[in-house]
């Protein structure tokens, strides 16, 4: 069952997609990153599937055992008081029933939204047909209704992640899939890889709030994406990639130069980090 508090968070999360400014999601990968983002002013926490996988010691692509994924999600939900939406890739299940059961568990943790994708088939490197995702979206919508739960379903299509020399055909297929997913019950459409030239007409061609990815180099700034009609901007695994890059710089400096300038230049004070979690914990490090 979805608690009253979770329903209130779900309503707040839905309203964020209708605000004048786009919803900016600096994606989290664990409880610590989620708390830092919340303290910095994030109105909602969205997870990165790749980041969660890496932080748990797995590669991206639904390689994380579901038990570990659920436990990591539970820690994030426990750590923050803002709405939490979770990237579940293709749904962590072989069948639609498996996906529904998995998302029901997440709703029980307090999750108010999911990203679910059609994806690229690993064996053929071809885009999956939209039928499977449409079926799963419809089943998730029915399950949420039966639970009297509010669930924001952000449908992702990977049309821009497969080779296609016909730009017009790719765009048309993206619009078609967005319309199919909307009819199945999706609340938003996420098109990572879509460029700005296509984003302008796309945001006007579909009824769903458009979500684009800005976690890589060359992404347009927020004000440009806003003018294009984008309602949601995700940084995905980009923040964790940057953290890993900083960690490598810190390690190289310590190993090669015996210095710590890179680490000390951006370090949060121990008390600030400790204060993210337990006010009763010691305010100074013991070791």
pLDDT digits (tens, 9 = 90+) for 169-225: 999 999 999 999 999 999 999 999 999 999 999 999 999 999 999 998 889 999 999
Q: Is pLDDT above 80 for 279?
A: no
pLDDT band at 281 (very low <50, low <70, confident <90, very high): very low
Give domain status of residue 249, yes or no: no
190 strand-pairing partners: 156, 211
pLDDT band at 122 (very low <50, low <70, confident <90, very high): confident
Q: Taking residues 243-250, report their average pLDDT.
A: 97
For residue range 43-71, what is the model confidence (pLDDT) as tens digits? 999 999 999 999 999 999 999 999 999 99
Give domain status of residue 218, yes or no: yes
pLDDT at 282: 45
What percent of the chain clears pLDDT 70, i.e. is strictly above it?
A: 97
Tokens at 96, concatenated: 């639609």
Closest CA to 192 of 244, 224, 235, 229: 235
- Report residue 282 CA to chain centroid gap: 33
- The string of DSSP letters for 191-230 reads -TT--HHHHHHHHHH-SSPEEEE--STTPPPHHHHHHTT-
Q: State whether residue 91 is helix, strand or coil.
A: coil
Spatial separation of the C-alpha atoms in residues 44 and 48, rounded to whole Å:
13
Q: Domain residues for 185?
A: 4-236
Spatial separation of the C-alpha atoms in residues 50 and 132, rounded to whole Å:
22
pLDDT band at 125 (very low <50, low <70, confident <90, very high): confident
Give domain status of residue 222, yes or no: yes
CATH of the domain at 80: 3.20.20.60
Count of alpha carbons within 13 angstroms of residue 39, beta-carbon side: 14
Give domain status of residue 98, yes or no: yes
If one counts the domains in the chain, the total is: 1
pLDDT at 280: 42
Q: Is pLDDT above 80 for 287?
A: no
Give domain status of residue 269, yes or no: no
Spatial separation of the C-alpha atoms in residues 91 and 116, rounded to whole Å:
6
Tokens at 240, concatenated: 């964790």
In the predicted model, what is the mean pLDDT of the chain? 95
Q: Is pLDDT above 80 for 284?
A: no
Per DSSP, which regions of the chain are E strands? 23-25, 45-46, 84-87, 113-117, 120-121, 126-127, 152-156, 188-190, 210-213, 232-234
Give domain status of residue 213, yes or no: yes
User: What is each CA distance from 281 to 265, 274, 287, in whole angstroms?
Assistant: 26, 7, 14
For CA atoms 58, 112, 25, 191, the dihedral sign is: positive
């Amino acid at each position: 069952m979805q608690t009253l508090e979770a329903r209130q968070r779900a309503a707040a999360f839905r309203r964020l997609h209708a605000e004048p400014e786009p919803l900016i999601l600096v994606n989290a990968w664990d409880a610590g990153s989620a708390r830092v983002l919340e303290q910095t002013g994030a109105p909602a926490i969205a997870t990165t599937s790749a980041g969660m996988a890496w932080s748990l010691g797995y590669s991206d692509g639904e390689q994380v055992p579901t038990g570990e994924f659920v436990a990591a999600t539970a820690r994030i939900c426990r750590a923050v008081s803002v709405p939490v939406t979770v990237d579940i890739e293709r749904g962590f299940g072989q069948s639609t029933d498996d996906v529904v059961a998995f998302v029901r568990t997440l709703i029980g943790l307090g999750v108010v939204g999911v990203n679910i994708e059609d994806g690229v088939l690993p064996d053929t490197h071809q885009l999956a047909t939209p039928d499977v995702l449409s079926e799963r979206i419809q089943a998730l919508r029915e399950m949420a209704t039966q639970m009297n739960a509010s669930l924001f379903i952000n449908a992702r299509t990977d049309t821009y992640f497969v080779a296609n020399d016909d730009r017009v055909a790719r765009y048309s297929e993206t619009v078609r899939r967005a319309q199919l997913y909307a009819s199945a019950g999706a609340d938003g459409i996420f098109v990572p890889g879509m460029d700005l030239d296509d984003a302008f007409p796309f945001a006007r061609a579909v009824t769903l709030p458009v979500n684009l990815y800005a976690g890589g180099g060359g992404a347009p700034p927020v004000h440009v994406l806003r003018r294009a009609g984008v309602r949601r901007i995700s940084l995905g695994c980009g923040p964790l990639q940057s953290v890993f890059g900083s960690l490598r710089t810190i390690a190289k400096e310590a190993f090669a130069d015996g210095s710590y300038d890179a680490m000390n230049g951006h370090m949060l004070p121990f008390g600030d980090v400790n204060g993210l979690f337990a006010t009763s914990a010691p305010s100074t490090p013991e070791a």
